[in-house]
Structure 1
Amino acid sequence: MSNLIAVFNKYFEVVPAKTADLKNQFFHLRYQVYSQELQLSDFESWRYPDGHETDKYDKRSVYSLLRHRRTKQIVGGLRLVLCDSVDPLQPFPIEEHAGHYFDAQLIEPSKLPRRNIAEVSRLMIAKNFRCRGKEVLYAHGMDDSSFEDRSHTRRQFPHPILGLLVALVQTSSEYGITHWYAIMEPALNRLLGRFGFDLEPIGPEVDYYGIRQPCLQNIDSVLARVFQKNRDIWELVTESGRKEGIAESVRGGG
């Protein structure tokens, strides 16, 4: 077992949010981050009198939480918007809001394996764990200072976002997802590239709650890149290759 796995297991645990109580914890975290802390347009607190931020895509979504083992505090969470089971051509959020900007030479949504796509969204870290530099300004808690080695703020675990990447891979494996959609800040995609988790842009930057860029990538390609770039991170997010299909997808290139 790598040291990264041992440290992760010491401090954190991934919790699939499948019960009503866990889902409500996730919805409340969304409210805290987007409505109260970042105060984003269209996420105003008055829209959510119950303190739970939700939207129409939650009916077809699954969720994961990252929890601190010792304190039981919620560290962060993410949502995967799944294909509409009744009508697979129903748009994903990225298609609805940025699909008209897609590069037709790179992607044609109707030809994608839609039942095996999930859109990664609401990826966020709780305020208590966004504690370096300007991390507090971003829901995902990542900026260049996240990678600085400051002795007075040094984390025992490299960054909580890695825990959410563990959750992302585990949940995708459980639901048979082969491709990830995401509309993300270019800076976040660049920072995720330090782990090998950056995704391929499929269109220009657009104004969507700030500057965002639509992205899509086959998960096997992402994990093969992680495998080559940082074996410890690959072992962490794939449980040392035990997730179905993951080990086989990269073994040939390893």
Structure 2
Amino acid sequence: MPLARKSILKKIKKIVGPKGRLGKLLSGYETLQEAKFISSHFSEFLEPVVAQDPQTKQNSYNIRHKVYCEELAFEEPNEQRLENDEFDEFSIPCLIKHKTTSNYAGTVRLVRPTQDSQQLPIEKYCLNSITHSDLSPSNFDRKEVCEISRLAVPKEFRKRQMDKYSGAALGVINESTYSEEELRCFPFIAIGLYFSAAAMVIHNQIKHTYVMMEPRLARSMSFVGIQFEQIGPVVDYHGKRAPYYINPALLNANLRPSFRVMLNNIQAQIEKNE
């Protein structure tokens, strides 16, 4: 919403009061305009992609190699510059594409076991960290559980970074490639990736979703209404991580209206391309 219009609405609301009929109508209008802005701004520059062919999957693995092997050194680098593991055999990679350049702005995967022998990463490496026994993935049928993991956003699409290229300390991003207007929506890349994974969860009617992540990332997601439930303590696993749980009911109960529009649009785009 333009700042001038937002300022006028704020003054009118102050005069009429927030609890009156007109005040409530203005609040509803502001929420609707915010929702349209967030969703349209994201979709103007970015689009979700579900990796359904080998080349797109390799693009996902390459982003993961850049982030997890080259930058963070969580995994050993390799000559192919592809980071993948045993879980990718039963995973669905999702990516966010930057429309202007056709470069990929980030990736995440949905690990979806279908056989009794297939475990989630959280079960194999961090099962002891789950102390909420009622929500342990072992309680549910394999086809009812999934895990969101390997979220990665390459350096050139991050607003703040500690990398050594010129201008990075000041938050500079490759201005010769990405315009100032486009940079405004880049903080939504991580949200878009989670929404892409959520869209796949809903599309495939999966009941229980797990994530192993930093508490500060969980707090960031809660600002937009993606309210993960922490089901265990913080442990040292590639840094400070904790196990989290969410299901479609929890997502729908807490999601802010402005971001619900964004999720609905991402769902529609993913289902259109399925």
Name the TM-score class by shorter chain. 0.7 to 0.9
Alpha carbons of 1:69 and 1:104: their partners in 2 closer, same or farther (altered >3 Å)? closer
What secondary structure sits across from 2:199 in the alignment?
Answer: helix
Rounded to whole Å, the distance in 2 between the matches of 1:110 and 1:32 is 33
Question: Which residue of 216, 220, 228 corresponds with 1:199?
Answer: 228
Question: Is the contact made by 2:46 and 2:96 (CA closer than 8 Å) also made in structure 1?
Answer: yes
Alpha carbons of 1:224 and 1:73: their partners in 2 closer, same or farther (altered >3 Å)? same
Question: Which residue of 187, 190, 195 corresponds with 1:166?
Answer: 195
Alpha carbons of 1:77 and 1:5: their partners in 2 closer, same or farther (altered >3 Å)? same
What secondary structure sits across from 1:239 in the alignment?
Answer: helix
**CA deviation profile, 1:95-127 (whole Å, cap 9, x unmatched):** 111112321544343322431221000111111
Percent sequence identity is: 28
Give the aligned partner of residue 72 of structure 2: 38
1:58 maps onto 2:92 in alignment: no
Question: Is the contact made by 1:76 and 1:124 (CA closer than 8 Å) also made in structure 2?
Answer: yes
Rounded to whole Å, the distance in 1 between the matches of 2:129 and 2:159 is 35
Give the aligned partner of residue 108 of structure 2: 78
Question: Is the contact made by 2:202 and 2:248 (CA closer than 8 Å) also made in structure 1?
Answer: no
* Counterpart residue identity of residue 96, structure 1: K
1:116 maps onto 2:144 in alignment: yes
Gaps of 5+ in 2: 1-34, 165-170, 172-179, 270-274
* Counterpart residue identity of residue 236, structure 1: M
Rounded to whole Å, the distance in 1 between the matches of 2:61 and 2:142 is 26
Shift of 1:21: 0.5
Shift of 1:10: 0.7
TM-score between the two structures when normalised by the length of structure 2: 0.73
Rounded to whole Å, the distance in 2 between the matches of 1:130 and 1:99 is 31
* Counterpart residue identity of residue 131, structure 2: D
1:236 maps onto 2:257 in alignment: no
Shift of 1:153: 9.2
Rounded to whole Å, the distance in 2 between the matches of 1:154 and 1:71 is 12
Greater mean deviation of Cα atoms: 70-79 or 171-180: 171-180
**CA deviation profile, 1:66-98 (whole Å, cap 9, x unmatched):** 001111111001001002x232x6421101111
Rounded to whole Å, the distance in 1 between the matches of 2:93 and 2:266 is 23
Rounded to whole Å, the distance in 2 between the matches of 1:154 and 1:108 is 41
Rounded to whole Å, the distance in 1 between the matches of 2:72 and 2:132 is 34
Alpha carbons of 1:241 and 1:125: their partners in 2 closer, same or farther (altered >3 Å)? closer
1:221 maps onto 2:250 in alignment: yes
Alpha carbons of 1:219 and 1:51: their partners in 2 closer, same or farther (altered >3 Å)? same
Gaps of 5+ in 1: 138-144, 146-151, 244-254
Alpha carbons of 1:179 and 1:17: their partners in 2 closer, same or farther (altered >3 Å)? same
Question: Is the contact made by 1:119 and 1:182 (CA closer than 8 Å) also made in structure 2?
Answer: yes
Alpha carbons of 1:167 and 1:38: their partners in 2 closer, same or farther (altered >3 Å)? same
Greater mean deviation of Cα atoms: 160-169 or 7-16: 160-169
Greater mean deviation of Cα atoms: 72-81 or 160-169: 160-169
Question: Is the contact made by 1:165 and 1:237 (CA closer than 8 Å) also made in structure 2?
Answer: no
* Counterpart residue identity of residue 231, structure 1: P
Give the aligned partner of residue 5 of structure 2: none
Rounded to whole Å, the distance in 2 between the matches of 1:195 and 1:20 is 33
Rounded to whole Å, the distance in 1 between the matches of 2:263 and 2:69 is 30
Question: Which residue of 138, 155, 176 corresponds with 2:205?
Answer: 176
Rounded to whole Å, the distance in 1 between the matches of 2:129 and 2:192 is 32
Question: Is the contact made by 1:203 and 1:215 (CA closer than 8 Å) also made in structure 2?
Answer: yes
Shift of 1:133: 5.5
Rounded to whole Å, the distance in 2 between the matches of 1:106 and 1:86 is 21
Give the aligned partner of residue 175 of structure 2: none
TM-score between the two structures when normalised by the length of structure 1: 0.78
Alpha carbons of 1:71 and 1:184: their partners in 2 closer, same or farther (altered >3 Å)? same
